[in-house]
Amino acid sequence: MTRARAAVILAAGQGTRMKSKTVKVLHAVGGRAMLDWSVELAHQSHAAKTLVVYGAHSPAVKAAAEALGCDTALQDPPQGTGHAVQSAQHALAGFEGDAIVLYADTPLIRPETVERVFAALGEGAGVAVLGFRPEDPAAYGRLITDDTGHLDRIVEFKDANAQERAVNLVNSGVLAAPAKLLFEWLSRVTNDNANGEYYLTDVVGLARADGHKAVVVEADAGEVLGVNSRTDLADAEAAFQQRKRAEAMAAGVTLVAPETVFFAHDTGFARDVVIEPHVVIGPGVTLEEDSRVPAFSRLGEE
């Protein structure tokens, strides 16, 4: 029997690199705010409770989350990812089930991937972490496994030695555990690290010390693109469009020049649709069977 699920979506970041008056997680990919992507992912993953953690600087995030039917929790002041998740503890008091930590600036994770993370808990893991292997591991936290292939610890880049930095399996940030255990471990996390913050990742070591198995679930790097800048936003949009074009063609849509067609998150299509070059489709559009979209068209909402 599947245990109850909760999702904690972290959305309290400052987003200063976006250079925008709009809060980072309210910027759009595929015509939908990144926060909305994360909330929809939680719903598609059958979360019975979805809670969004926001910062004091972003009342707009609180308003947007509540408009989507989510509970909210304030992180103030920000003291790291572990502290952010702890901010959700009161709202999840008494919850019996598994909790997953998602990020409102990582919009392209698929529901099937989240399902694999929860499945790892169902198969006996105390903690499951979503990892990936990017072309350039850069400053990501490293996932250090033991001789059995289980996760031993997560080391933040600033705290990693040369051997640990050579590891190319890195942390996406997404982590799941039984909710009661997660908050118990977080209560024991300290800020004795290079950043002076409370790291969510430290729960892996605490879980292992308590005799629980920790595992890595690997995802494609394109799913876990995090957005911290306008360049990252463009990369996420490009990844979304590539995914949506492939989906359309697999469904029987002809794209005369695929790279010139731009879809929205909710674009629907039937077989034998033909889309000519240089077409932009906004939200709220469904293309019926045998329809043809002429070149240089714009359909749907502005």
Helix, strand, coil: what percent of the chain each, to 5? 35, 25, 40
Task: Please state, in angstroms and rounded to a whole number, the distance separating the CA atoms of residues 7 and 87.
Answer: 13
Task: Please state, in angstroms and rounded to a whole number, the distance separating the CA atoms of residues 292 and 231.
Answer: 33
Query: How many CB atoms are located within 10 Å of the residue 180 CB?
Result: 15
For residue 150, which of 111, 120, 176 has the smallest C-alpha distance?
A: 120
The H or E element that residue 184 is part of is: helix 179-186
CA gyration radius, the chain? 20
Catalytic one of 17, 116, 165, 243: 17
DSSP class per residue in 75-108: E-S---HHHHHHTTTGGGTT--SEEEEEETT-TT
CB 271 within 8 A of CB 20: no
For residue 218, which of 265, 168, 264 has the smallest C-alpha distance?
A: 168
The H or E element that residue 298 is part of is: strand 298-299
- Does the annotation count 17 as an active-site position? yes
DSSP class per residue in 213-251: -EEEEE--GGGG----SHHHHHHHHHHHHHHHHHHHHHT
Task: Please state, in angstroms and rounded to a whole number, the distance separating the CA atoms of residues 279 and 262.
Answer: 6
In the chain, the N- to C-terminal Cα span, in Å, equals 45
- Catalytic residue positions? 17
